[in-house]
Amino acid sequence: MRLTRRALLLAATLVATSTSVSRAADPDPYADLRHRWLALSLGEGYDPTAEPYASRLAETAELARAFRTAMAPAPTSLWPDRPYDPPSGITQSYSRLWTMAQAYVQPGTGATGDDTLLADVLRGLDHLSATVYNPSTTRYGNWWEWQIGSPRLLMDLVAALHDHLTDTQRQAACAAVDHFIPDTMLTDYSGTSTGANRVDLCRSVALRGILGRAPDRIALARDALSPVFPYVTRGDGLYPDGSFVQHTWVAYSGTYGQVLLDGLGRLFALLAGSAWEVTDPARQIVLD
């Protein structure tokens, strides 16, 4: 059977529906959405001793051990081989912490619930927050690392470790996202905030709103998806023939196009049935 974008997005929504039913008794909409995001990101209801899960979980644990051993906080890096300049080193540092966090929170890794591993992840998060990814830093180098790569991973980390973080730590993460993704990035559909990039930006801001209990941020992210939906006749976006363009003229159906559909599927699923559900009728264009 050919996997269409309709099938992909509807499948994501079905996952969200089943997750929301299982958590229907949760009176806290922000906690409900956070749990739903983790179900979408990490999965649930699987047997960690069965393949292919067992092998993948073991690989995660092995990587986490290696990253943990090599971590050596310094003024300009968290790992010696990943300096903050170029800023890809910041994103890669968050990626390594995310691997370590997955080894901690997921079942069957051999490091599940390891308090010393958790302590190292938190130490790494605090170090990145204190030394580079904070509102007092002026971004340099590739914009993508600051506005998409790093915040996306940071929000995943805060979602997964939410109950182990202090309010101060959570608010510091939210403040960093607010600084590096200002409102203007989502109110002006131009430049680097179009197509798949716009969806990625909305993902981080929506999660920031959920984790920071800021309904206006969730609404901003939801509403900022609308310019992505209509067909275009030039520039970035979906075309009536089913093709997708990013970077003004490059046919990117299999790369940025995949990012766009994955991101929309996640956000449609995340917000379905909530006060922030994506209800713009133009979303149907993406499903068709």
Which residues are designated catalytic? 197, 247, 256
The three-state secondary structure class of 106 is coil
Distance from chain centroid for Cα 213: 17
Q: How far apart are CA 268 and CA 11, in angstroms?
A: 11
Contact between residue 63 and residue 98 where contact means Cβ atoms under 8 Å apart = no
- Could you give the C-alpha distances from 143 to 46, 55, 148, 237, 243, in angstroms and in order? 37, 35, 8, 20, 26
Distance from chain centroid for Cα 57: 20
Distance from chain centroid for Cα 120: 21
Listed in sequence order, the residues at least 6 apart from 10 whose beta carbon sits closer than 8 Å to its beta carbon are 287
Q: Where are the alpha helices (DSSP H) in 28-166?
A: 29-42, 53-70, 88-105, 115-131, 143-144, 150-160
Listed in sequence order, the residues at least 6 apart from 282 whose beta carbon sits closer than 8 Å to its beta carbon are 226, 229, 230
Contact between residue 72 and residue 80 where contact means Cβ atoms under 8 Å apart = yes
Does residue 197 come out as left (phi exceeding 0), alpha (psi in the -120 to 50 range) or beta?
alpha
Burial grade of 247 (CB within 10 A; 0-12, 13-18, 19 or more): middle
